[in-house]
Structure 1
Amino acid sequence: MSKRCKIIVNSIIVFVLLLIVGIIVKFVFFSGSFTPLLKLNGDKQMVIDVHQEFEDPFVKARYHLKDISDEVEVLGQVDCEKIGTYQLVYRLKEHDKEVVREVKVVDRTAPKLMLKGASHVRVFLGGKYQESGYAASDDVDGDLSDEVRVESHVNMNKKGIYKIHYYVKDHSGNGSKRTRSVEVCEDPTSLKLHYNYDTYDNTMEEWWFHKSEKHERNKGAKSAAYLKKFDTYYQGPDEKVIYLTFDEGGNEVTYSKEIAEILKKHDVQATYFFTLNYLRDEADFVKELVANGNLIGNHTWHHYDMTTLANAHSVDKFVKEITETEKMYMEITGEEMPKIFRFPRGGGSERTMKMVQDLGYRNYYWSHAFYDYGDDVSKEEALRTMMEHYHNGAIYLLHPSNRGNYEAIESFIVAMKDLGYRFETLDAIGKDSQEP
């Protein structure tokens, strides 16, 4: 064997011997076979969140190849409900051995910051912004509402969208932020209508129509072409679509909420014409209707015969009947009111249609209705007339004060869907000026 080979072989032998010695030393001194072993399980330093349960990984203790963990004494404790640094000492008293673990209880959770009211609100030019409020709380520091910092630059004298920023920090430095947008817009009640409408006929006519025969599209008191000049409609396009509309002026007995639940159940949206008083008194219901995709139309403030106000002397009252209702809707929902209108009792004139049009509204009559004011109309009678006169593009006028309508509406919806009809809201009619 060459000298070089001998050197290589000897080196390998030395390495193997050293490895064997190392294993023996580790077994003798670090396995607990001949000397006690006390070793931490897990990390020497641990971090847990306050209120989180601390699970102690404990230690490994062996001696003479036996587990002696039950002989380990633990000194100290961790208060999981209090922020701080804690030491746990694990001690083998008889063998004079101990190891130490450090546990930090910290707060890493940001406080909760909630805005009261809507995150986007509309206010009126020249008015005063009323802060809806906020609340902040922390699972360690408790109520932090008084420590919320607010940055606001809302200019009530200039139209625009402004941001209000809300900040809060807990005592551990964790922070939360929220933002509210405030849209300063024109007050609809500031709108004035220059009166020059005497050339338009102001003879009041209550809307009427020929009942549909054999489900054919019908004719109304005025032709569709004539009405369209005033952005006024009484039926939709010649398609398999039905428009459910409900007029509500604040009757003592009403089934509006019950009807709304049925519509929601069948994923049907309708158009509701509300007076100002009803909007004000049923604000939560109105917001719920809007959230479910229904359309709220303007039915004036006092439910007057609008032709009596369509003159130079009363033009401001005419306008306020509509704009005050519009403003109430905006205050309730924080949104602009859809420019959808219906005359009280369907009574209008050429002049009133023109004035409503100049206020930016589209006016809607109907192509199906029946005497449903009385409370003696049964479900059977209501359903019969609904089914006898349906037609493509029909606008149904229904009054929710009638129990028969309420009891019949579900059967009607199911039947019309089975016939292939869909239900839409009135804003689809006249939107693109393509309807008949």
Structure 2
Amino acid sequence: MKKNYFVSFLVLILILNLTFIPVYSFASNETSELNWYYARSKEKGKAPDGPKESIAFLKDCGGYFLGDTSSKVLYLTFDEGYEKGYTGDILDTLKELNVPAAFFVVKPYIDSAPDLVKRMVDEGHLVCNHSNHHPSMASITDEEKFNKEITDVEEAYKNLIGKDMPKFFRPPMGKYSKDCLKKLQALGYKTIFWSFAYKDWLVDNQPSESYSIKKIEDGAHPGGIILIHAVSKTNSKVLKTVISDLQSEGYEFKSLTDLPE
């Protein structure tokens, strides 16, 4: 009798595990905070692999880290958390070389540098959403607070420019979850990650110009979405050389509006 009771108990535990564990795991995976990364190929000029945690659902949730990998196309993007005085030089270079770019801005940047934002738009660049307060969007569980991080930036842009903000979003700090990508998609956004970035944002510890030129050019590949920070003095100095060198290698710079669906 005791043996039968023990067997029944084990069967009950097994049923409970099979019933509840997958449901719990699924719910957890939907909201778990992830950190963006890519696995760079050892072969120069080959696109990297995306993160194993999210590559299966990334496209279905409106996420991009690559563009058209069938041709030598690059998409240049800048993150603008605050103005350090180099964006004007960056815009000068882009205008001279006739290269489009996307600038991902927070609301305080729009408020503090309206003339630069207007110039970006006037010169044909995209000014896109980088949130209001630069939080991890995956950490915001309150839907109203989540939406406000997005809509506050949209409203500031529309008040300044008189048009709706382009629907591209760059996750602050590269933090995301499947749930937050779906929320952004429901708001009409494509979430733009990257297939190249490097440590360029430390304003008091800038890389050398030669290092940056080699790093960026070696990281280029067909369909590459390049992330660099506009607070970098080095980036502002090397940008013309980098763009010209990559163009001489046959690369063409396109807008995020040309991303394949």
The question of a shared fold, defined as TM-score above 0.5 by the shorter chain, is answered with yes
CA distances 1:136-155 after superposition (whole Å, capped 9, x unpaired): xxxxxxxxxxxxxxxxxxxx
- The Cα shift of 1:421 comes to 1.1
The answer on 1:235 being equivalent to 2:100 is: no
The aligned runs of 1:8-157 (5 Å cut-off) are none
Partner of 2:115: 284
Asked if the contact 2:57–2:178 (Cα under 8 Å) also holds between the matched residues in 1, the reply is no
- In the alignment, is residue 378 of structure 1 matched against residue 208 of structure 2? yes
Structure 2 vs 1, CA of residues 199 and 377 (structure 1 numbering), >3 Å: closer, same or farther?
closer
Go from structure 1 to structure 2 and tell me whether the alpha carbon gap of 1:359 and 1:199 turns closer, same or farther (over 3 Å shift): farther
Q: Select 1:412's aligned residue among 197, 221, 242.
A: 242
Q: How does 1:157-168 map to 2 (within 5 A)?
A: none
Matches within 5 A, 1:246-395: 246-251=78-83, 253-309=84-140, 311=141, 314-375=142-203, 376-395=206-225
For residues 85 and 179 of structure 2, the distance between their equivalents in structure 1, rounded to whole angstroms, comes to: 32
Superposition deviation, residue 210 in structure 1: 1.5
Q: Give per-residue Cα distances to partners, 1:9-28, cap 9 Å, x unaligned.
A: xxxxxxxxxxxxxxxxxxxx
Q: Is the 8 A contact 2:135 2:172 kept in 1?
A: yes
d(CA) in 2 for partners of 1:356, 1:420: 34
Question: What is the root-mean-square deviation of aligned Cα atoms in Å?
Answer: 1.7
CA shift at 1:225, angstroms? 5.3
Matched, 1:221 2:51: yes
Whole-angstrom distance in 1 between the partners of 2:241 and 2:254: 17
Measured in 2, the distance between the counterparts of 1:320 and 1:308 equals: 14
1:119-164 Cα shifts (integer Å, max 9, x gaps): xxxxxxxxxxxxxxxxxxxxxxxxxxxxxxxxxxxxxxxxxxxxxx
- For the 8 Å contact 1:202–1:351, the answer to whether it is kept is yes
Asked if 1:207 corresponds to 2:207, the answer is no
Return the letter of the residue paired with 2:197.
Answer: A
| Alignment check: 8 A CA contact 1:301 1:321 kept | yes
Cα displacement (A) at 1:357: 0.5
Shift of 1:427: 2.1
Cα distance, 1:320–1:263 mapped onto 2, change above 3 Å: same
Cα distance in 1 for partners of 2:250, 2:239 equals 17
**Which residue does the alignment assign to 1:192?**
none
Indicate conservation of the 8 Å contact 1:279/1:329, yes or no. Answer: yes
Give the Å deviation of 1:407.
1.1
- SS, match of residue 200 in structure 2: coil
In structure 2, what is the Cα distance between the partners aligned to 1:320 and 1:225?
28
CA contact (8 A) 2:91 2:120 kept: yes
For residue 245 of structure 1, what is the aligned residue in structure 2?
Answer: 77
Q: Which amino acid aligns with 1:241?
A: V
> In structure 2, what is the Cα distance between the partners aligned to 1:303 and 1:287?
21
Q: Distance in 2 between matches of 1:254 and 1:216?
A: 34
What is the identity, as a one-letter code, of the residue corresponding to 1:240? K
Residue identity opposite 2:218 in structure 1: E
SS in structure 1 of the partner of residue 127 of structure 2: strand
Partners of 2:34 and 2:88 lie apart in 1 by 31
Q: Report which of the two has the higher share of helix.
A: 2
Q: CA deviation at 1:224?
A: 5.2
Give the number of equivalent residue pairs. Answer: 231
2:80 partner amino acid = E
For residues 178 and 248 of structure 2, what CA distance do their matches in structure 1 show?
39
Give, in angstroms, the shift of residue 199 of structure 1.
7.5
Task: Please report the TM-score for the alignment, with normalisation by the length of structure 2.
Answer: 0.84
User: Would the aligned equivalents of 1:224 and 1:233 in 2 still touch at CA under 8 Å?
Assistant: no
The structure with more radius of gyration: 1
Q: For each residue in 1:309-361, what CA deviation from the matched residue of structure 2 results, as whole angstroms up to 9, or x when unmatched?
A: 1x2xx210100000110011111101111111011011101111011011110
Structure 1 contact 301–322 (Cα < 8 Å) conserved: yes
Shift, 1:262, TM fit: 0.6
What amino acid does structure 2 have at the position aligned with 1:246?
Answer: F
Mapped partners of 2:139, 2:145: distance in 1: 10
Question: Partner of 1:426 in structure 2?
Answer: 256
Assess if the C-alpha contact under 8 Å between 1:329 and 1:337 holds in 2. yes
Worse-superposed segment, 224-233 or 335-344? 224-233
Asked if the contact 1:378–1:403 (Cα under 8 Å) also holds between the matched residues in 2, the reply is no
Aligned partners of 1:283 and 1:374: how far apart in 2?
24
Please list every run of at least 4 consecutive aligned residues from structure 1 whose deviation after the TM superposition is greater than 6 angstroms.
Answer: none
* Amino acid in structure 2 at the alignment position of 1:237: D
Q: Which runs of 5+ in 1 are unaligned?
A: 1-197
